[in-house]
């Protein structure tokens, strides 16, 4: 066993070899400048036949000493500046000016007067040699550092950020990227060279520049580039061959320099081709601060994000209700960093169970309820319409009844754009929930509202997750139709806008979020392939039962809509008396008949009063049990009771 005295000597500091190299570099640079002065003097003598006298042995050493002393004082020999940089050139010019001035003043002495002009000429030659030597060394170093194995890329943006990227790529022999061209929309920068890389056009000619330079991808070097830039680039490029990536802005990097390692794939905001809306937090704070808020479906994609946002706005208490204990466990971990699962704010309950909801509401007494629990996968509900009826219709009704019974002051029902002119089991069940919400709003006189929005990128079961998994497996990517479009939002954007719309909505209204322009699913697939840099085939499977080619935000009768807050439209949905709908265990025929009547009643406002009276058994008056399915022409669908689960890989347990 070694004693302390036997321990080996400490290792040298990690920076010691580097310091030695720096010292050697400084001494070598000083020697190079001294040699430049000597060579220049001999050059003057050789070219002009000047024979020096004894004064040479005094003046030239003084000139060399002056160069070295002044150069050291101005950091030319202390590795302060990059070799050959403009900063070093500026200080070198200051040294030369001082030496020129001092040498000229030496001409006052009579015995030196004859040699001074030649010495000044030698000094001029020496300065030219110094500049040339430095630039030659810099070029040789850069040639040695140029990456040879990195992917050839085109940089979008010739500003400071783009130029910084090019510099770092060209200075790293192991860089994964090798810039071959730059594009910029500023016509003044066309044909400029930035660190040796040419500006070859604008973003409108990106496809031609990429093809001409044989680039493998495009990197956007624009600080805080809007999402439209990425959408435009992906649209112009062959997404099956060329990938597109971006860098964060310097502010995003806490004001530090952006490096090559910070280059990122496009995020979901870039994929939908528009910036995500950021509503003011004051309205959300006024809604939830100091109040007890209960969120149903708290473990789902939307529910969990709602909980995260609400928790940041100082509620008196946040109650998280879900039927899945594993999802509640994951939510606790994300909110608190621990999951002891012993908090009274966690409620394990199924919204189908009214008694469980009644007990929870009686004990916790929420002021606000955000109802996000639902079954949301359209194909599964087409196969199992009774499950959608029990959860989306009667589950929502249970939550509404519990809220009314226990004096909940504000109720927010999370709906879907598929409830507009519904053609599917999902849309019809959610539309009935909207009508229930309008009924309870009228009954209580309190702000009970529904919020309707489209697909959420990144949620479980979303097309983005499906595409990402298919790309990871090597394809193919499955798209239902070449022209199918959908409205998209990010999860945080949808939740923020839901809370803001809920804060502004009046009693009984349905708020329809502004989601921008619809996105073609095939374009989304191509953008995602461009992000990953992988190429996969796309196959078209055909629209499934109940699916629309283009989703709608409003039913045909919802023409009387307004928008006063800039983030949503307001539509009036006719209320529906819950006592007029069949029980949870109703037969599929009864469910079908109820859907037919509730949709008809909504489409014909004059029939609203009649609807609640005639809803009931499948063979009620005026109801044809053999009615056809809803199509884009507005006809109502026949529910295929025998439609099984073949070719369906989705879970019936999904939540909005």
Q: What angle do CA 581, 582, 585 make, to 5 degrees?
A: 145
**Calpha distance 490→272 (Å, rounded):** 9
Among residues 418, 430, 526, 548, the one annotated as catalytic is 418
Q: Which two tokens stand for residue 273?
A: 């081709």
Residue 390 DSSP symbol: I
**Calpha distance 228→168 (Å, rounded):** 27
Distance of CA 314 to the CA centre of its chain: 27
**Calpha distance 605→490 (Å, rounded):** 34
* DSSP code per residue over 335-368: HHS------TTEEE--TT-HHHHHHHHHHH--SE
Residues 6+ apart with CB under 8 A from 334: 304, 308
Cα four-point dihedral sign 550, 553, 559, 564: negative
**Calpha distance 34→60 (Å, rounded):** 10
Residue 284 DSSP symbol: H
**Calpha distance 255→98 (Å, rounded):** 39
CA-CA-CA-CA torsion for 91, 95, 96, 100, nearest 10 degrees? 150
**Calpha distance 468→466 (Å, rounded):** 5
Q: Among all chains, which residue has been given the structure tokens 């321990």? A: 7
405 is a catalytic site residue: no
Q: Is 290 left (phi over 0), alpha (psi -120 to 50) or beta?
A: left
Indicate the SS3 state at residue 502. Answer: helix
Q: What angle do CA 368, 369, 375 make, to 5 degrees?
A: 165
Q: Among all chains, which residue has been given the structure tokens 């754009």? A: 417
- The residues that are catalytic are 418
């Amino acid at each position: 066993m070694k004693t302390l005295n036997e321990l080996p000597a400490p290792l040298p500091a990690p920076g010691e070899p580097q310091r030695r190299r720096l010292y050697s570099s400084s001494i070598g640079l000083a020697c190079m400048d001294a040699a430049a002065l000597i060579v220049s003097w001999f050059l003057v003598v050789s070219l002009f036949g000047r024979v020096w006298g004894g004064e040479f042995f005094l003046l030239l050493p003084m000139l060399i000493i002056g160069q070295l002393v002044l150069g050291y004082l101005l950091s030319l020999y202390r590795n302060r500046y990059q070799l050959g940089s403009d900063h070093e050139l500026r200080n070198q010019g200051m040294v030369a000016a001082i030496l020129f001035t001092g040498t000229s003043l030496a001409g006052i002495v009579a015995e030196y007067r004859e040699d001074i002009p030649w010495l000044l000429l030698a000094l001029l030659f020496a300065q030219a040699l110094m500049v040339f030597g430095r630039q030659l060394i810099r070029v040789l170093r850069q040639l040695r550092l140029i990456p040879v194995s990195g992917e050839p890329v085109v940089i979008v943006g010739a500003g400071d950020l783009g130029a910084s990227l090019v510099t770092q790529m060209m200075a790293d022999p192991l860089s994964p990227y090798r810039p071959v061209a730059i594009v910029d929309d500023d016509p003044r920068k066309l044909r400029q060279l930035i660190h040796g890389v040419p500006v070859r056009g604008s973003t409108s000619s990106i496809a031609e520049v990429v093809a001409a330079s044989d680039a493998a991808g495009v990197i956007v070097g624009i600080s805080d580039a809007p999402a439209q830039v990425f959408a435009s680039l992906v649209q112009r490029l062959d997404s099956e061959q060329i990938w597109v990536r971006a860098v964060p802005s310097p502010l995003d990097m806490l004001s530090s320099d952006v490096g090559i390692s910070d280059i990122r794939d496009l995020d979901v905001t870039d994929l939908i081709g528009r910036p995500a809306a950021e509503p003011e937090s004051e309205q959300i704070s006024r809604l939830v601060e100091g109040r007890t808020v209960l969120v149903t479906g708290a473990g789902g994609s939307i529910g969990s994000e709602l909980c995260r946002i609400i928790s940041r706005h100082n509620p008196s208490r946040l109650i998280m209700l879900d039927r899945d204990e594993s999802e509640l466990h994951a939510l606790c971990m994300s909110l608190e960093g621990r999951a002891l699962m012993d908090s009274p704010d966690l409620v394990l309950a199924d919204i189908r169970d009214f008694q469980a909801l009644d007990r929870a509401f009686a004990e916790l007494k929420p002021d606000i309820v955000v109802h996000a629990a639902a079954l949301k996968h359209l194909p599964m509900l087409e196969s199992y319409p009774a499950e959608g009826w029990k959860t989306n219709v009667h589950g929502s009704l249970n939550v509404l009844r519990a809220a009314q019974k226990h004096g909940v002051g504000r109720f927010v029902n999370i709906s879907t754009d598929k409830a507009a002119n519904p053609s599917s089991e999902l849309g019809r069940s959610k539309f009935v929930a909207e009508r229930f919400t309008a009924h309870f709003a009228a009954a209580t006189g309190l702000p009970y509202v529904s919020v309707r929005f489209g697909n959420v990128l990144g949620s479980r079961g979303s097309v983005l997750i499906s595409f990402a998994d298919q790309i990871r497996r090597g394809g193919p990517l499955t798209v239902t139709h070449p022209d199918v479009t959908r409205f998209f939002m990010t999860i945080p954007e949808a939740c923020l806008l839901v809370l803001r719309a809920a804060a502004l909505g009046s009693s009984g209204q349905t708020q329809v979020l502004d989601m921008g322009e619809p996105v073609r699913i095939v374009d989304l697939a191509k953008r995602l392939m461009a992000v990953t840099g992988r190429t996969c085939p796309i196959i078209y499977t055909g629209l499934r039962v109940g699916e629309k080619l283009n989703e709608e935000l409003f039913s045909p009768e919802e023409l009387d809509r307004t928008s006063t807050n800039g983030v949503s439209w307001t539509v009036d949905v006719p209320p529906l008396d819950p006592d007029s709908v069949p029980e949870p265990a109703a037969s599929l025929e009864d469910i079908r008949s109820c859907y037919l009547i509730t949709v008809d009643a909504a489409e014909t406002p004059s029939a609203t009063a009649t609807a609640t009276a005639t809803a009931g058994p499948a063979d009620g008056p005026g109801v044809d049990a053999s009615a056809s399915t809803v199509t884009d022409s507005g006809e109502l669908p026949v529910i295929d009771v025998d439609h099984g689960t073949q070719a369906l890989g989705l879970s019936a347990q999904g939540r909005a």
